[in-house]
Amino acid sequence: MAANTDSDCSVYSEENSDGEVGSSSFEEPIDEMTNLGTQPYLFEPEASSDEESAAGRSPEATDQDRLGNNDWCNCGRCPPMTTIAESVCCQEIPQVMTVLEEDPGKPCITEHNGFQPVCLHPSVLRTAYYVYLQQYEELPETNRRMRYIGYRQLARWCWGWLGRQVRVPLPACAVQKIRDTYPEEDGAYQGFGMA
């Protein structure tokens, strides 16, 4: 009986009379853990329908009154946004409020002690980009890429793992802070739901 030592775990096999390798009758079943590297998102929990609906903002945030002003802002840092979906304050999102509770006394997610290192620091964003690159396409190193990764970092920090291609509106205050840090040359931004 020969042992396959090419991988971390050994799989036992035996040669038949023709010199071919086959399974032995007493072979242990291959542990499913040996194939985990080829199955992305295997251990990521799927969002329940309750979590998906809670991932967005509160129902009153759908009012047309939110456009062109920031009267809906409770943290004092949200700018007027161009769409209703983007017109949401960090104080309205339960997942963001949970993160805010970790740093008491901060009225805005952009003032949280973790916001700058998680969502704005260039070295952290570059490192997060390399993790992103393992699953997705390459993006040129521009402010647009830095904003995109900053938004992803914010979502991961506050919501955890949402699922592939699941998107949530981010608080306007955080979006504006990321845009101010990594501005678009022409000042034109794509916005949520415009992709």
pLDDT tens for each residue of 71-111: 999 999 999 998 888 999 999 999 999 999 999 999 999 99
Burial class (CB in 10 A: 0-12, 13-18, 19+), 153: buried
176 plus 91 within the same structural domain: yes
Give yes or no: residues 162 and 70 share one domain.
yes
Whether 175 maps to a domain, the answer reads: yes
**In this structure, is the dihedral angle defined by the CA atoms of residues 135, 151, 101 and 88, taken in order, positive or negative?**
negative
Instruction: Tell me, yes or no, whether 190 lies in a domain.
Output: no
Q: Tell whether 100 and 139 lie within a shared domain.
A: yes
* CB-neighbour burial class of residue 70 (10 A; exposed 0-12, middle 13-18, buried 19+): middle
Please tell me whether residues 25 and 96 are part of one structural domain: no
DSSP 135-175: TS----SSHHHHHHHHHHHHHHHHH----TT---PPPHHHH
Q: Which amino acid is at 39?
A: Q
Rounded CA-CA distance 168/61 in Å is 14
Predicted confidence band at 34 (pLDDT cuts at 50, 70, 90)? very low
| Whether residue 9 sits in one domain with residue 103 | no
Cα–Cα dist 12/29, whole Å: 10
Stronger pLDDT, 159 or 22, i.e. the higher one: 159
Does residue 84 fall inside a structural domain?
Answer: yes
**Mean pLDDT taken over the chain:** 74
DSSP states of 33-84 as a string? GGGGGGSTTTTSPPPPHHHHHHTS--GGGG-GGGTT--TT-SSS-PPP-SST
Which range of residues forms the domain containing residue 90? 49-181
Query: Which pLDDT belongs to residue 41?
Result: 45
Same structural domain, 78 and 167: yes
Specify the pLDDT at position 114: 95
Both 169 and 80 in one domain: the answer is yes
